[in-house]
Amino acid sequence: MKVVVVGTGYVGLVTGACLAEVGTDVVCVDVDAAKISRLEEGILPIYEPGLEEIVTRNFKNGRLKFSTSLEFSIPDAAVAFIAVGTPPGEDGSADLRYVLQVAREIGHHMTAPLVIVTKSTVPVGTAVKVNRAVKEALQDRSASIDYDVASNPEFLKEGAAVADFMKPDRIVVGVNNDRAAKVLEALYAPFLLNGHPILFMDVASAEMTKYAANAMLATKISFMNDIAGLCELVGADVNKVRKGIGSDPRIGSRFIYPGIGYGGSCFPKDVKALIRTGLEYDRRLRILEAVEAVNDDQKKVMFDKIFRHFDGQLKNKTIALWGLSFKPNTDDMREAPSLVLVASLLEAGASVRVFDPVAMHEAQKALGDAVEWCSDLYHAAEGADAVALVTEWNEFRLPDWKRIGARVLFDGRNIYDDVTLHKNGITYYGIGTIQPS
């Protein structure tokens, strides 16, 4: 079976590479010619553990190809995935311009029956629009070719995308008939071994599942961040509370870690888009409005702690940031809490020294020379008055505290403990933990 994946961003590239890895012939198509030629040289646009290896291997063995031409790629394909960006518009709704453009182009160039699959995160009702776009394009050229439009949202986590794709918790497929279901079941068969389930449903439910999943996860995080704030006030330790509630299987121990707010390309955008969809149907999603508001506030929590600790005197103070990306194992800086923190610190007159194991290049695009770029965590901490742990990269977990001159540490992810820090003469501030008096 030959598959075309349109869009070589994060979702498209992982999908294309992983499908090729199990034996499917894949062409990844992108309008960006420079990106395509870099990919052919084995240079990836994103950092994702394990991805480079499978891209290179499958490119070499010929199962994975790259092209800028949908026209030449689509004719003999059985499945076309649309995995292009859906950036948020001004009002928070997902901008479907690129998705529909690709749908029209597919309609212009397809020559044989095709299953067209939306893989990008798209609002409920998008498959209907894609269907219309393809139909109109076929009518324009007076062609009559069978096609189906399906929805197959992805649930990949950045930093673990290859593993998530190869061993999915579930594969959700929204289809309107058996024909499309059979094609997609055959395509995904290699990933269903060992009991990984494929769930077939109608298209609207599949589209909704994606948003409901991310909205639920974002809700867990904001809920815990709200509880963490209260823990600090009442003198409780959220780490203990987290374990206490997480051992109830109805609650579960995953995704209830408080921090300095969720970031990335998914949660902030999807929560906004779902709120927006609600409004289109005259329904306020009040929980999600609160989830978003709590998260916006949470991104300011670390700065507030630093500001209070130094009695509002941040001029002439130097703060070292450990980690910049929105989470470990990615260089993604989109909606990263570090950006909010750096902006506030600079505005208050502090100097900022930063280090991230992977995201320095991406971060430079946003921060330029407003901060000092350092070569490792110790270099960042040199001469700093305080250290702020922003992203919980593994290499930050066990620093040699003797080499850290700063006498105060702000832990945005609760990876350290106050006892160890105190032993080393460092004042410790966690999130939702007992705060120094």
Active site amino acids: 266
Closer CB to ligand UGA, residue 264 or residue 357?
264
Q: In which element (H, E) is residue 199 found?
A: strand 198-201
Residues 176 to 215 in contact with ligand UGA, rule: CB under 6 A:
214
x/- binding map, residues 305-334, to ligand UGA, per CB under 6 A? ---------------------xx-------
> Which of 217, 228, 374, 377: binder of ligand UGA (CB under 6 A)?
217
Listed residue (206, 200, 57, 60) closest to 128, CA to CA: 206
Closest CB 9 distance from ligand UGA, rounded Å? 11
- Do residues 210 and 286 make contact, with C-beta atoms less than 8 angstroms apart? no
Closer CB to ligand UGA, residue 198 or residue 348?
198
Residues 281 to 300 in contact with ligand UGA, rule: CB under 6 A:
none
Per the listing, tokens 């599942």 go with 209
Closest CB 120 distance from ligand UGA, rounded Å? 10
Q: Which stretch binds ligand UGA (CB under 6 A): 62-70, 135-143, 255-263, 350-358?
A: 255-263
Residues 218 to 237 in contact with ligand UGA, rule: CB under 6 A:
221
Closer CB to ligand UGA, residue 110 or residue 431?
431
Q: Which stretch binds ligand UGA (CB under 6 A): 101-109, 137-145, 154-162, 245-253?
A: 154-162
Strand-pair partners of 80: 4, 116
Q: Which stretch binds ligand UGA (CB under 6 A): 56-64, 65-73, 249-257, 368-376?
A: 249-257
Q: How far apart are CA 240 and CA 161, in angstroms?
A: 30
DSSP H stretches of helix in 236-359: 238-246, 267-280, 286-309, 337-347
Closer CB to ligand UGA, residue 261 or residue 399?
261
Listed residue (247, 271, 246, 272) closest to 257, CA to CA: 246
x/- binding map, residues 111-140, to ligand UGA, per CB under 6 A? ----------x-------------------
Closest CB 259 distance from ligand UGA, rounded Å? 4
> Which of 103, 256, 321, 371: binder of ligand UGA (CB under 6 A)?
256
Q: How far apart are CA 1 and CA 114, in angstroms?
A: 11
Q: How far apart are CA 65 and CA 179, in angstroms?
A: 27
Q: How far apart are CA 319 and CA 13, in angstroms?
A: 37
Q: Which stretch binds ligand UGA (CB under 6 A): 18-26, 197-205, 253-261, 426-434?
A: 253-261
Binding residues with ligand UGA: total (CB under 6 A): 20
Q: Which stretch binds ligand UGA (CB under 6 A): 38-46, 130-138, 179-187, 257-265?
A: 257-265
Residue 160 burial by CB count (10 A; 0-12/13-18/19+): exposed, middle or buried?
middle
N- to C-terminal Cα separation, the chain: 65
> Which of 12, 259, 323, 430: binder of ligand UGA (CB under 6 A)?
259
Token digits of residue 433: 């933990």
Residue 127 burial by CB count (10 A; 0-12/13-18/19+): exposed, middle or buried?
buried
Can residue 264 be called a binding residue for ligand UGA (CB under 6 A)?
Answer: yes
Residues of 24-62 as b/e, b for ≥16 C-beta within 10 angstroms?
bbbbbbbbeeebbeebeeeebebbbebbbebbbebbeee
Supply angle C-alpha 367, 222, 198, rounded to 5. 100
Closer CB to ligand UGA, residue 341 or residue 406?
341
The binding site for ligand UGA (CB under 6 A) comprises 121, 154-158, 214, 217, 221, 255-257, 259, 262-264, 266-267, 326-327
